[in-house]
Structure 1
Amino acid sequence: MSESRKAFLNGVRAEIPLLIGVFPFGMIYGALALNAGLSTLASQLMSSIVFAGSAQFVTAQLVHDSAPGFVIILTIAVVNLRHMLYSASLAPYLKNLSLKWKALLSYLLTDEAYAPSILNYEKEGITPVSHWFLLGAGFSLWFIWQISTALGIFLGAAIPKEWPLDFALPLTFIAMVVPILKNRPMIAAAISAGVVALLAFGLPYKLGIILAALTGIIVGTVLENAKSPRRAL
């Protein structure tokens, strides 16, 4: 077995435990997208092109609420700001790759692909085939996400429209967020964002979502920096 193939399969194996949790979210998205008014093709293409679970859930909700296009785009940009941090973290390990490789890996970069990949880089360092690990992790997640979305769309088409599937969206985000609230900055960011979202609920064009996200980011960043020890001059 070639070294690149071995690294690719190692990435797939590292991703498998995360795929078990991702699969039901893909199914929920597929059903919610149809319930929000998106066509079958648009729902599946969003998983193939956008390939960002949280952004897709938010988009489905905003489409359901008839939000303007610029609000949807701006909200997705805010929600996905964390990918800039992932990119900055991986940049030192990927800087010598070709532009084609960087473009491919940036497309496949998600929360679930980043976690095992950065641990692998920190453990193994940079090798001629280390980027194949990230490719394996990212591609396996992409593949499962397409299948779970398609299954959710197929099952969602048989679900009566009067069923309140849109209520599954906040429940999904609660299930995703609560387990990672492990320190005071994270908890404060979540609480502040939630409070602002409630207070700004009446703003036009669903701008309260953007305001809440920015508030959470600012509060979390300020508290995180405050607890970090200052470097001696």
Structure 2
Amino acid sequence: MTTFQTGFWQGFRLMLPLWPGVVPFAVAYAVTARGAGLSLWDTCLMSLTVFAGASQFAAAGQFAGSTLPLGAALALVGTTFLLNARHLLYGLSLSRQLPLSGRQRILAAQFLTDEAFGVVTVAGTRTPGGVTFALLLGAELSLYAAWNAATLLGALAGQVLPGPAALGVGVIFPLAFLGLLVPLLRGRPEVLVALVAGLGAWALSGRVPGGLSILLVGVGGALLGAWLVTRRAPVAEAA
């Protein structure tokens, strides 16, 4: 097995514990899309090409009816942009950790998700070679496979399957990210940034779109962290 294959399957396996949280939401999206009048092919095609859960839910609700007015189409594009604005931060962070070619950047950007970014970032701190393209791609395609398989399942048999709320899977992703965060809290600056960012996200929740709130909190947390580090640096140099 080559080095790339080893890293790829390592990343693929890292995401398996998150599959139980992905599957019910993909099924729920498929049921929503089918209920809005999308065909089986259209429902699956959106998962294959868009691959963004919140945006697909938002889009599925807009597709009811035979035509989509221009205003609704523009609103849909704007909503999708705001919901996914946080990926700007993910991309900037990964570009500092992982040098990629042009093709690799396009491929990694297409399949990047919150879960893949979080898991790979933590895994990179525990792996001697750090984050690699193979590790990142394996993690991304792991969720991609689960999401699309569950979309097909939901499109075919969604009417007889319980929704995410009934299964109680809404806590899986928050708990998973909490588990990823804790090992990164190694000192007072990290704890302070995490606390302020958490309070900021709570204050903004329900007031601005989810993607925009994460972007604002992420930028604010990064600026606070940079200020704390630069503020502490002169003290360390003087010592």
TM > 0.5: yes
Q: 2:211 and 2:4 mapped to 1: Cα distance?
A: 41
Cα offset, 1:25, TM superposition: 1.0
Q: Percent identity, please.
A: 29
Task: Confirm or deny: 8 A CA contact 1:11 1:135 kept in the other structure.
Answer: yes
Q: 1:222 and 1:94 mapped to 2: Cα distance?
A: 20
1:189-225 deviation per Cα after TM superposition (whole angstroms, max 9, x unaligned): 345442x4xxxxxxxxxxxxxx545874587468747
Cα offset, 1:178, TM superposition: 6.4
Cα distance change on mapping 1:92 and 1:141 into 2, 3 Å: same
Q: How does 1:11-50 map to 2 (within 5 A)?
A: 11-50=11-50
Moved more, 99-108 or 134-143: 99-108
Partner of 2:105: 102
Partner of 1:77: 81
Cα distance change on mapping 1:187 and 1:31 into 2, 3 Å: farther
Cα offset, 1:34, TM superposition: 0.9
Q: 1:100 and 1:80 mapped to 2: Cα distance?
A: 21
Q: 1:173 and 1:100 mapped to 2: Cα distance?
A: 35
Cα distance change on mapping 1:112 and 1:220 into 2, 3 Å: closer
Cα offset, 1:98, TM superposition: 2.3
Structure 1 residue runs without a partner (length 5+): 160-164, 197-210
Partner of 1:86: 90
Moved more, 31-40 or 132-141: 31-40
The one-letter amino acid paired with 2:39 is S
Cα distance change on mapping 1:75 and 1:13 into 2, 3 Å: same
Cα offset, 1:94, TM superposition: 2.9
Q: 1:98 and 1:222 mapped to 2: Cα distance?
A: 26
Task: Confirm or deny: 8 A CA contact 2:18 2:173 kept in the other structure.
Answer: no
Task: Confirm or deny: 8 A CA contact 1:192 1:219 kept in the other structure.
Answer: no
The one-letter amino acid paired with 1:151 is L
Tell me the number of residue pairs that the alignment of Structure 1 and Structure 2 aligns.
207
Cα offset, 1:10, TM superposition: 0.8
Cα offset, 1:78, TM superposition: 0.5
Q: 1:172 and 1:86 mapped to 2: Cα distance?
A: 28
Q: Secondary structure at the match of 2:63?
A: helix
Cα RMSD, aligned residues only? 3.5
Partner of 1:200: none
Task: Give me the TM-score of the superposition, normalised by structure 1.
Answer: 0.72
Q: 1:5 and 1:226 mapped to 2: Cα distance?
A: 37
The one-letter amino acid paired with 2:201 is A
Q: How does 1:92-131 map to 2 (within 5 A)?
A: 92-95=96-99, 97-124=100-127, 126=129, 130-131=132-133
The one-letter amino acid paired with 2:153 is L
Q: 1:100 and 1:215 mapped to 2: Cα distance?
A: 28
Partner of 1:206: none
